Structure 1
Amino acid sequence: MNIFRHRPFGLPALALLTIAAAGCSSADDGPSAAVPHPGAAVTKLCRHLDEVLPTKVDKLSRRDPEPASPLTAGWGGDPAIILRCGVDRPAKMSDPEADGVEVNGVGWLLEQRADKSFRFTTTLRKAYVEVTIPAGRTGDGMAPLVSLAPAIKKAIPEGIAD
């Protein structure tokens, strides 16, 4: 088991996330997301998560990406907040210097991407759940994770994902 440092939800993490960058508009009509292909046990957990996800995240209505799948979900439009359940373990989790946050009882690996969006992946859960917050939506800080934490705690048990 790899341990990485957790930074408590506070000013450094909030300051990092409140830096808003202008989002790029897309010619597509709606969001899209690659569908993960986990094993049967993780797929079952992810299907349960899909059933308990909130209809609104950070005041944005649910609008699932294409292709339709119970392993993906989205909120908002352009740009959308995207959730993918059953993703592979991120390589960054092996980095002892990786940044992590805990939001309402759910641990997350925090990664800022080249396009200034943020990718969060759950830690110490039986399935990896990834949430991407686009650069144009980072001004609300951790609000999307606060909205998603109850569903993740309910559907994805604590433990180590296979």
Structure 2
Amino acid sequence: MNSLRHRLIGLPVLAVLITAAGCSSADDSATAAVPSPDATVTKLCRNLDRALPRTVDGLGRQDPEPASALTAGWGSPAIILRCGVPRPAEMNNPEADGAEVNGVGWLLQKQGDGSFRFTTTLRKAYVEVTIPAGRTAHGMAPLVSLAPAVKKTIPEGIAG
């Protein structure tokens, strides 16, 4: 009789797990790897998170999973910002493409899937913005929205 009780108790738990799995697979939230910078950069990134705009290129903020003050997102497919990323190796290339948008320098990297990755240059923390292939028609418009917050919260200098 003891094993029958375990089977009956196990059925509702199994039903809850199946329901939860069904909900998560239907969820099309963006995901982003959360950087793990040192405490100084983390503080700068938290300040940036508080200063970020509600909209970027006309898209409302929808942060990626897992939730973190080091990541942010707008729209779907999402424009993703990650703060405190490591220095990209491409910054060692004197032929690398770059741009300046409203006083913030960016390294430009076109990805194999047609998306673009921009990483701040000459700032105390590296901020990376990825624009998915389906959103590249507006060029660097997302950076125009993000530059004021970066300029305000991430001081000029060389990230350590």
**What is the TM-score normalised by the length of structure 2?**
0.83
AA partner of residue 106 (structure 2): W
**In structure 1, what is the Cα distance between the partners aligned to 2:37 and 2:105?**
21
- Per-residue CA deviation, residues 11-63 of structure 1 (Å, 9 max, x unaligned), is xxxxxxxxxxxxxxx97521000000000000000000000000000000000
**In structure 1, what is the Cα distance between the partners aligned to 2:135 and 2:78?**
8
After the TM superposition, list the runs of 4 or more consecutive aligned residues in structure 1 that deviate by more than 3 angstroms: none
AA partner of residue 141 (structure 1): G
- Flag structure 1 segments of 5+ consecutive residues without an equivalent: 1-25
Aligned twin of 2:39: 40
Aligned twin of 1:3: none
Aligned twin of 2:12: none
Aligned twin of 2:53: 54
Which of 113, 116, 121 is the equivalent residue of 1:115? 113
**In structure 2, what is the Cα distance between the partners aligned to 1:95 and 1:29?**
36
Aligned twin of 2:153: 155
AA partner of residue 81 (structure 1): I
AA partner of residue 131 (structure 1): V
CA change 1:92–1:28 in 2 (3 A) is: farther
Q: Provide the secondary structure at the position in 2 that maps to 1:132.
A: strand
Correspondence 1:100 to 2:98: yes
Aligned twin of 2:124: 126
**In structure 2, what is the Cα distance between the partners aligned to 1:151 and 1:109?**
18
**In structure 1, what is the Cα distance between the partners aligned to 2:66 and 2:150?**
22
**In structure 1, what is the Cα distance between the partners aligned to 2:99 and 2:153?**
20
AA partner of residue 102 (structure 1): E
**In structure 2, what is the Cα distance between the partners aligned to 1:27 and 1:138?**
26
Kindly indicate which of the two structures has a greater share of residues assigned to helix.
2
Q: Provide the secondary structure at the position in 2 that maps to 1:157.
A: coil
Q: CA RMSD in A?
A: 1.2
Correspondence 1:138 to 2:117: no
- Per-residue CA deviation, residues 115-156 of structure 1 (Å, 9 max, x unaligned), is 010000000000000000000000011110000000000000
- Equivalent pairs counted in the alignment come to 136
**In structure 2, what is the Cα distance between the partners aligned to 1:131 and 1:120?**
5
- Per-residue CA deviation, residues 83-120 of structure 1 (Å, 9 max, x unaligned), is 00000000000001100000000000000000010000
Higher relative contact order at CA 8 Å, sep ≥6: structure 1 or structure 2?
Answer: 1
**In structure 2, what is the Cα distance between the partners aligned to 1:27 and 1:94?**
41
**In structure 1, what is the Cα distance between the partners aligned to 2:85 and 2:97?**
19
